[in-house]
Chains A and B, each alone.
Chain A
């Protein structure tokens, strides 16, 4: 079917009939069943042993990190946390299918993608503890990671803003002739924001090599997806915008990996966006400020626990003869110790010095910021005991 851009190309009908939702349903790609068996070996992606193990260990590492940091928040050691439990296959599987030169613009539940790129436990901790080693210099809440070297754009809190930005970033990559794409992660809730419409539409019209990756995880804080949108999910919207679209089982690493690999190839070769809708489930709370028991049942959660993406993938690894229980246990033990040690280390590192407060607003601080800093420092010097984080280090 060709794009119909003009009214004159539209075929006429003399029947007063409306096109109903549900007439065409978009299927979900699944290559791994719940027992870890491949459903279509011919379509299964090629993943070598090293990559497969890296995917598996990254997923397990992230789950450990999430558990520990939710605990740290409960103990009052950090102010906030967002876990990705249940969604590890979506973010780690997709990140594994990318090139390291591809830009990642994420929402806030994609620590798996960042860990896959090589973000270290210390780096995670320094950001979460807002200490002076935090690349954001203590200016953003925990989980707002960003790393220029790893091509991971610093996260912003407002929802969906990265969607139109990803279109622009990808346009820049294309114009500069870089053999790279941008992947933009967001949840199905963020797809209700105007930025989703603006961004996907612009990417389609302006031919931007960007992968829009929607984690349809069932809930936007407490709002279930049936109160979030009508119609056939987010995938149907991609088609509406003239964007090549695929829906995948988001708990199936093989499906996510295969779809992302294909999406990347198409985006790069054809200079166009591709939309992936990953059907998954947020087993965790929305954030540490949230209690899902108030809005959903345990039985619903249990149903999804049975579809655990990590176990499913490990069964597949096992079938390949690549799963080593002893090595995995040892890895988990080592990671646990590493996370705990890094946590203790990071919380002892002081915050950035007060002089830093006026940096990075502009390329250099203008007169009014310089004046305000002078006044602030004089005030802190007068009441040092009231500003213990910074008073001992005034320059």
Chain B
């Protein structure tokens, strides 16, 4: 019973690990290039969720200065804002890499006429 409570209490870490390996599996074993990029997206969002859930604590509010606390701030009452700021940068980098990857996918389709990786390899080796 104690082990079950431990497992359920850390569910966000188990979910992030599952999404991490799901994205890695898609990037390795899917042959379609757009499916590979969806795997990359899942991979990046699992990392973001991991860091945000590491900064979460119960009975704490948003890291905003309230009107009731007149200058006196108790840091125990607030969530840690440092992972939030770092993950804000990570989201912007994620969409930049996504745009570059999809642009290269369109370029590959215009040259080879297919999105499947094995067919692209066959066309390359037959030349």
Decide if A and B are genuine partners. no
